[in-house]
Structure 1
Amino acid sequence: MHKSSKDLVKCISRFQSLLVLVLMVIAISLLSDRFLTAANGWNIMRQISVNVCLSIGMTMIIIAGGIDLSVGSILALAGAVTAGLIKSPVPIPWLGIELDFTLAGAMIAGIAVGMLLGWFNGQMITRVRIPPFVATLGMLSIARGLTMLWTKGFPITGLGSSFAIIGTANFLGAPVPVWISGLLVLLFIVVTKKTRFGRYIYAVGGNEQASRLSGLDVDRIKLWVYTIAGGLSAVAGLIATSRLDSAQPNAGIGYELDSIAAVVIGGTSLSGGQGSIWGTVLGCLIIGVLNSGLVLLDVSPFWQQVVKGIVILMAVAIDRLRNRGEDQ
């Protein structure tokens, strides 16, 4: 292949997510006059805010050479814990007291729960040496079971107008969930691209053995990545719970698939060592636009799942072909 052809392929590969997004917007706009409206645009942004929070953490995990199947269950448990603490105090029988949480205290507790479960994932992977797929699959079941135990299988509702601000209010003309996810995107773009920790994540995912030989504490880096991802899943749980004014026991089911899809569609390699937060945001937008377009075009929800699966397979196939081309 000539140098000019290689440069063209690299350029297309670099901007493939953006090109796909633009083509999708044009195609759906031609098929539905309700798509290109400000209301629908903000609705898409609001819808993807939860997935953006989940996918930021998933991006760092996959760049580091791992995977996390528990983000949806952690989202549910963190949201349920926060809702439960807002609604009623926690009795401590052996001390004869009850802990009454403020709104801020309940939210901090929910995020702490997410970080604790992420930390546990990291410990299982780095200390016990359980493969990430198996460790996080186990956590998926554990967190879902704990959510059912905490809620007793019933939604926790009536969380108050102050908590509803997080998921439903607007600030300076934009929904608050969009502000939260946008600020997190900017923060973790800086973390991954401008900090030593970010460079270490790419190094570990690119070649773990070489990273160990060069003196990096690989286990500690992975532990931090999973802990941060757990905290981000909890933030997503707060947004989702606030939007519904309800903590549902079955919240977040299937969210891990949307998160992984957004990361892969955004150009992050499942082999590790390659990817970006910005690419993942484009992946979230592609999924959001696709979902919105299929709904506006009255496509059956069952066919929506089929289309989403085909898009994921295509993204993975492109990633594999790109990696094969770079190796040759």
Structure 2
Amino acid sequence: MDKKTKYLKIKNVVCSLGVPLLVYLVMEVICRIATGAGVINNMADLKNLARTFASLFCIALALSCNLPAGRMDFSLGSQMILAVIFGGNIAINLGMGGVGVLLFSILFGIVAGFIVGVVFVQTRILPMVLGMGMALIYECISFSAFDSKGLQMFGVAGLGILSNVGFIVLTVAGVTVVIGYLFLLSPFGYDRKAIQGNQRISMNSGINIFKNCIWCYTLAGGLVAVAGVFDTVFKGSLQPVLGMASRSTVMGNMFAVMLGMTLARFSNPVLGTMMSVMSIKILTLGLSKLALDSSIQTIIVYFLFLALMIYRMNEPAIKKISKKKARIAEAKQMRRQMAQA
């Protein structure tokens, strides 16, 4: 391994793992100075971090299934609500416990995502427009089911495993392995990368872009179902909504997706998303430790999101300026050497 390759690998590791570590150190120092306590002080903080991390990580991965290919799916929030309400209630009525709730929710999420994918392929409606329409349909179905009561998990026997940190970590590890294989090592993942580059060339080279699209929507539905289960356990209940209120699930997690896509340049999409979610959850946990109002926390998070988007949009110009400065410095050095000679 030459020096340049070794340098690039070290740089990639530092850039990928350094962001959450840097966020943690900054928030730890601020919290210690302001409150005298750290970001994570007890097991309750660790449990809250694990639960919210699992939910946000799965939603970010779900958005990453379609967004890099230019498909913005606004129906993911409604898919999550429908999957958890139907899957959770059926599993609880059958007495299948927490694992049954998770499995049934994933099943309904996969079906919901598959339907959206098939409708998109058959109708060719713009993804954002289709997502809004399917969101309204799924919201109405969820609202009309089970007497509009949604899903109650608080006080239900047999669901304690869903709050267990070990089970949450095991689930996140399983999701990471499965999605990592599908995105990075499987034929589906190779086709997906090609489609992200150029859909017309991919289609002309023999890739079935419509089949890959349906797989992406199906996978996203299953992922948001996992996120919905852990989010509902954390809150105790899940109520159906109407009027596109479920879209907040999508828009509220765009920061994690865009930061993950940025960090993915130094590793891969799955690890980049994981590091971005960890960074954001540590940031929000630290802000809550400072006893800031929720509106202030939202302003800070979205200000950082705006700064990231400004950087991404102007990155070519920034790199051009950096290269120009490097060339000027190199020219000055050569001039000094020639003058000395």
Quick check: TM above 0.5?
Answer: yes
Instruction: State how far apart, in whole Å, the 1-side matches of 2:317 and 2:188 are.
Output: 28
2:18 corresponds to 1:19: yes
Q: How many residues align?
A: 305
2:88 corresponds to 1:72: no
SS in 1 for 2:159: helix
How many Å apart are 1:17 and its aligned residue?
5.5
Gaps of 5+ in 1: 1-7, 89-99
How many Å apart are 1:326 and its aligned residue?
8.1
Task: Specify the alignment match of 2:338 in structure 1.
Answer: none
User: Contact 1:165/1:242 (CA < 8 Å) preserved in 2?
Assistant: no
Instruction: State how far apart, in whole Å, the 2-side matches of 1:62 and 1:220 are.
Output: 16
User: Contact 1:83/1:247 (CA < 8 Å) preserved in 2?
Assistant: no
1:245/1:297 CA distance change after superposition, 3 Å: closer
Instruction: State how far apart, in whole Å, the 1-side matches of 2:170 and 2:55 are.
Output: 12
Instruction: State how far apart, in whole Å, the 1-side matches of 2:118 and 2:22 are.
Output: 43
How many Å apart are 1:302 and its aligned residue?
0.8
Task: Specify the alignment match of 2:107 in structure 1.
Answer: 112
How many Å apart are 1:18 and its aligned residue?
3.8
User: Contact 2:284/2:297 (CA < 8 Å) preserved in 1?
Assistant: yes
User: Contact 2:87/2:107 (CA < 8 Å) preserved in 1?
Assistant: no
Task: Please give the per-residue CA displacement for 1:65-87, whole angstroms capped at 9, x wherever unaligned.
Answer: 32222222211111111232245
User: Contact 1:59/1:268 (CA < 8 Å) preserved in 2?
Assistant: no
1:84/1:312 CA distance change after superposition, 3 Å: same
Aligned-pair Cα RMSD in Å? 3.3
The one-letter code matched in structure 2 to 1:302 is S
Task: Specify the alignment match of 2:254 in structure 1.
Answer: 260
User: Contact 2:52/2:231 (CA < 8 Å) preserved in 1?
Assistant: no
SS in 1 for 2:172: helix
2:56 corresponds to 1:56: no
How many Å apart are 1:325 and its aligned residue?
6.9
Instruction: State how far apart, in whole Å, the 2-side matches of 1:187 and 1:241 are.
Output: 23
User: Contact 2:135/2:246 (CA < 8 Å) preserved in 1?
Assistant: no
How many Å apart are 1:262 and its aligned residue?
1.0
Task: Specify the alignment match of 1:184 in structure 2.
Answer: 175
Task: Please give the per-residue CA displacement for 1:165-185, whole angstroms capped at 9, x wherever unaligned.
Answer: 12x124xxx3x2232122201
Task: Specify the alignment match of 1:162 in structure 2.
Answer: 158
1:289/1:208 CA distance change after superposition, 3 Å: same
Task: Please give the per-residue CA displacement for 1:192-251, whole angstroms capped at 9, x wherever unaligned.
Answer: 111121111111011111101111000110110111110111122222233444332249
How many Å apart are 1:143 and its aligned residue?
2.0
Instruction: State how far apart, in whole Å, the 2-side matches of 1:68 and 1:11 are.
Output: 36
Task: Specify the alignment match of 1:37 in structure 2.
Answer: 41
Task: Specify the alignment match of 2:228 in structure 1.
Answer: 237
Q: Relative to structure 2, which stretch is displaced further, 12-21 or 118-127?
A: 12-21
How many Å apart are 1:279 and its aligned residue?
0.5
Task: Please give the per-residue CA displacement for 1:142-189, whole angstroms capped at 9, x wherever unaligned.
Answer: 2222221114443432573323312x124xxx3x22321222012211
Q: Relative to structure 2, which stretch is displaced further, 295-304 or 249-258?
A: 249-258
Task: Specify the alignment match of 2:303 in structure 1.
Answer: 310
- Which is higher, the Rg of structure 1 or of structure 2? 2
Instruction: State how far apart, in whole Å, the 2-side matches of 1:202 and 1:280 are.
Output: 16
User: Contact 2:76/2:247 (CA < 8 Å) preserved in 1?
Assistant: no
Task: Specify the alignment match of 2:331 in structure 1.
Answer: none
User: Contact 1:263/1:279 (CA < 8 Å) preserved in 2?
Assistant: no
User: Contact 1:82/1:238 (CA < 8 Å) preserved in 2?
Assistant: no
1:315/1:139 CA distance change after superposition, 3 Å: farther
Task: Specify the alignment match of 2:116 in structure 1.
Answer: 121
Instruction: State how far apart, in whole Å, the 2-side matches of 1:248 and 1:255 are.
Output: 14
Instruction: State how far apart, in whole Å, the 2-side matches of 1:232 and 1:162 are.
Output: 23
The one-letter code matched in structure 2 to 1:162 is G
TM-score by length of 1: 0.80
Structure with higher helix content: 2
User: Contact 1:57/1:230 (CA < 8 Å) preserved in 2?
Assistant: yes
Task: Specify the alignment match of 1:28 in structure 2.
Answer: 27
